[in-house]
Amino acid sequence: MLVFVIPLKSKTVSNSWDKVNQLLERTVRSVCSQTSNEFKVIVVHHEKPNIEFEHKNLSYLEAPFPPPEPIENPKEDRKRKHTDNKRKLWLGLKFSESFKPSHVMFVDADDCVSCHLAHYVKEHNNENGWYVDKGFEYPAEGSIIYPRSNLYEKCGTSNIIKYELLKPLLEVDVYEIDGLAYLPHKKIPELFKEMGYPFSALPFPGSIYITGHGDNIFLEYFSKKNKNPADLTRFYLGKLKKLLVGRPLTKKIRDEFSL
């Protein structure tokens, strides 16, 4: 069984709590649209989200610690938000024990995933895990989507990990987790390979990285911190390059990812 763990940011650090709820509802619809019923979804939150969608495989878990308070220092503010995020991942991982999962996937609360993940994991449940190499980036709205390779380097919704390999993390107290050092998503395949547990690239597009909606932690931090013209030039040249490889958002993609 595959368990999806979704950490939800607090209302206190959201630019728009209504938008956060709207994005989460699309995410849980996407995750719960699996072609196999061998999955569970855990949303870890401070304030329970106000969404209409319900599913028998969807659970909610309230965090027992206070939410981060926003501060003016961008670097410290981002660190606090990431610490909160990773603590919620720890809680979701701990809670997932009751489902006896074969694998766990951490999912950002604004992204979408392929409906074929649970079935694929069920058919290959002895594997160490997979990283999402192929996927898409979607700028919140519109009719154009952008294919991405090496998606795991940018998107947090990008690794499926054998549960037994994650159990040692539960030996660390949730309050001792450093949010910037606790399993950074882009380093997960490399870290497990070094430990003797190599991952494979998922053989099909696995995730859609949703950007441009105003509640993305990385992009919010980037815009506040980076005033260097060279950094901004590289950033916008990268965005221009993506525009050149954009393609129409087809019904097939919408259906597979519930976008």
In whole angstroms, give the CA distance from residue 13 to residue 20.
Answer: 11
String of DSSP letters for 38-76: -EEEEEEESSPP------TTEEEEE-SSPPPPP-S-HHH
In whole angstroms, give the CA distance from residue 211 to residue 94.
Answer: 29
Q: Give 219's contacts (C-beta < 8 A, 6+ positions apart).
A: 211, 212
pTM of the model: 0.87
Instruction: Judge: domain 2-257, CATH 3.90.550.
Output: yes
pLDDT, residue 204, reads: 98
pLDDT, residue 180, reads: 41
Percent of the chain past pLDDT 90, that is, above it, reads: 69
Average pLDDT for the chain: 88
Q: How confident is the model over 200-225, as a mean pLDDT?
A: 73
Percent of the chain past pLDDT 70, that is, above it, reads: 85
Cβ atoms of 36 and 119 closer than 8 Å = yes
How does pLDDT run across 142-182, given as a tens digit for each residue?
A: 889 999 999 999 999 999 999 999 999 888 888 776 644 45
Backbone φ, ψ for residue 183 (5° rounding)? 50, 65
Q: Classify residue 241 by burial, with Cβ atoms within 10 Å: 0-12, 13-18, 19+.
A: exposed
| H runs (alpha helix) in 40-171 | 74-95, 117-123, 163-166
How does pLDDT run across 62-105, given as a tens digit for each residue?
A: 999 999 887 888 888 888 888 899 899 999 999 999 999 999 99
pLDDT, residue 243, reads: 59
Q: Where are the domains of the chain?
A: 2-257
